[in-house]
Chain A
Amino acid sequence: MIPNRIRITGLTDAIQKMKEYGIPDLATFFLVYEAKNQVLSEETVLSQMEKALDAMEESIQKGKLKANITPSGLIQGGALKVNNFLAEGKSILSPAFTDVIYTTLAVAELNACMGRIVAAPTAGASGVLPGAFLTIAKNQKTSREKTIQSLFVAGGIGEVIALRASLAGASHGCQAENGSASAMTAAALCYLSVSDPVIVESSACFALKNLLGLVCDPVAGLVEVPCVKRNVVASVNAVACAEMALAGIQTVIPFDEVVDAMEQIGNSMPSSLKETSQGGLAVCNACKRYCL
């Protein structure tokens, strides 16, 4: 029996409840979870997720249209430069890999330029899911239905982080924003190939572990430097972690405990490194001329 409200304490609990309720996979579990808890029909929840997917796809197109330049001058059309570099045949990577970098930059730069994006989980990390997940899903010619299902897995991973820790840079640093986005993206990428929760969990663990301790130190308080390129790190990290998990490497530490470690690290971070622009890169000499 599925109750009218589904409460979970973490990913382990979610996987256990999924089995208990006779739900076949994580994507369906988080769809049912959302529909029950928000008192919406599953069709409504699915159509809202599809709207998010549409908006992500539009943000990719718009971010690639032209050089994205911010009023501060901190962002100077990096995505376009990467694409030109690829077109000139100078890239040192495979085109698919460079496409992940290019697409992530395009969306993160569009966000910095007041473009329309999907906060996933935050606006500051909005380039990661479209940049890594949608780029690879498209390369694999994934169906729209499967793409949407995978977004529920990504959302479920983010939900677990929100429940046990936080998704806000102001409370836990960049590990909570780009770290979470990376874990969500790695899980969604795995789910494209396999529904085995052990593999999905491992990929999310690797991705979050690799970015633990990352602070939030934005120059001039803007979502530009280092945020835009940290989106790329989160994307590239997600791809690598999905690849490792799919290859059969298993996590030693369960995801819930990795999130608890993030919570503990976030709590011991000084406030100067949590979105206040009072420390780290934000106070570099080279950055002073950009400060407000």
Chain B
Amino acid sequence: MGILDVIGPIMIGPSSSHTAGAAKIGFLARLIYGKPIQNVEITLYNSFAKTGKGHGTDKAIIGGLLGMKMDDERIPTSFEIAKDQGLEFQFILKQDLEKHPNETKIEIIETNLGENYSISGYSIGGGNAKIVEINGMKVDFSGKHDMLLITYLDVPGMIGYIGEILGDNHINIAYVQISRDASIGRAMAILKLDDFCTPDIVLKLCENKNIVKAISFPRLGGYLS
């Protein structure tokens, strides 16, 4: 696992899985959504549901959604800060043996569009977490790479188009994963990159009318977040 994982992470207690990992899921969800969040419904499953309150899992997720890293000392007061910043939230507790013991589903309610955006992730211990589902599409990433998430109309040639623009900008792709939702004719490409895809390259990508949404964010600083 590495020496700096043994002596670390620096985090808000009391639990690396139930507090630090939960904050990381919230933080990643904010990056994935890519816009300020106003209203959110959060489901805590299994152990998160049973002992989450005592471990501050709820405060950690809200903190993460507000952009706090796992060592941010504002996490214990994140509910008050959410109120000040106009973030409405509610928690639902569920037991579901099909889910991971420390899983959460973050459903962002888009009041204007009447369409929700959901992100699921789970905490895997030691402050590490994974995002496993975005809007019903299976994904698998943890924020260790520079990320590019592209939602597009599921037509031929899109991956080639994306790859070419990244290549032109000397960005190497470490890993690509594609999920599709046939019912709405959309697909999502999750790209793990060796370098950050800057906003100007994102704009260039979006010139293609088949691209619905493109979100880019840099890798989390491994040690602190």
- Point out the residue from B2, B10, B50 that lies within 8 Å of A37, measured CB to CB: B2
Cα of A277 to Cα of B15 in the assembled complex, Å: 15
Q: How far is the CB of A76 from chain B (nearest CB, A)?
A: 16
Are B14 and A292 in contact, CB atoms less than 8 angstroms apart? Answer: no
Interface residues on A, range: 35 or more
Cα of A55 to Cα of B10 in the assembled complex, Å: 7
Cα of A168 to Cα of B21 in the assembled complex, Å: 14
Cα of A288 to Cα of B109 in the assembled complex, Å: 38
The 0/1 profile, CB within 8 Å of B marked 1, for residues 107-121 of chain A is 000111111111111
Q: Does B213 touch A at the CB level, under 8 Å? A: no
Q: B73: nearest residue on chain A (CB-CB)?
A: A116
Are A124 and B14 in contact, CB atoms less than 8 angstroms apart? Answer: yes
- Point out the residue from A37, A48, A221 that lies within 8 Å of B54, measured CB to CB: A221
Q: Does A18 touch B at the CB level, under 8 Å? A: no
- Point out the residue from B2, B11, B17, B47 that lies within 8 Å of A34, measured CB to CB: B2
Are A116 and B16 in contact, CB atoms less than 8 angstroms apart? Answer: no
- Point out the residue from B50, B56, B73, B127 that lies within 8 Å of A119, measured CB to CB: B127
Q: How far is the CB of A57 from chain B (nearest CB, A)?
A: 12
Contacts of A117 in B (CB 8 A): 10-13
By secondary structure, the A interface counts as helix
Are A155 and B3 in contact, CB atoms less than 8 angstroms apart? Answer: yes
Contacts of B73 in A (CB 8 A): 115-116
Q: How many residues of B contact A (CB 8 A)?
A: 36
A:155-209 near B, CB below 8 Å: 155-156, 158-159, 162-163, 167-168, 170, 184
Q: How far is the CB of A45 from chain B (nearest CB, A)?
A: 7
Cα of A120 to Cα of B125 in the assembled complex, Å: 13
Contacts of A221 in B (CB 8 A): 47, 50-51, 54-55
Q: Which 4 A-B pairs have the closest CB atoms?
A: A111-B13, A221-B51, A158-B6, A155-B3
Please give the residue numbers on chain B whose beta carbons come within 8 Å of chain A beta carbons, in ascending order: 1-17, 19-20, 47, 50-51, 53-56, 59, 71, 73, 75-76, 125-127, 223-224
A-B contact sample (16 more), CB < 8 A, given A71-B54, A116-B73, A123-B19: A33-B3, A45-B4, A117-B12, A117-B13, A119-B9, A119-B10, A119-B127, A123-B15, A158-B7, A159-B3, A163-B1, A167-B1, A168-B126, A221-B55, A223-B14, A224-B14
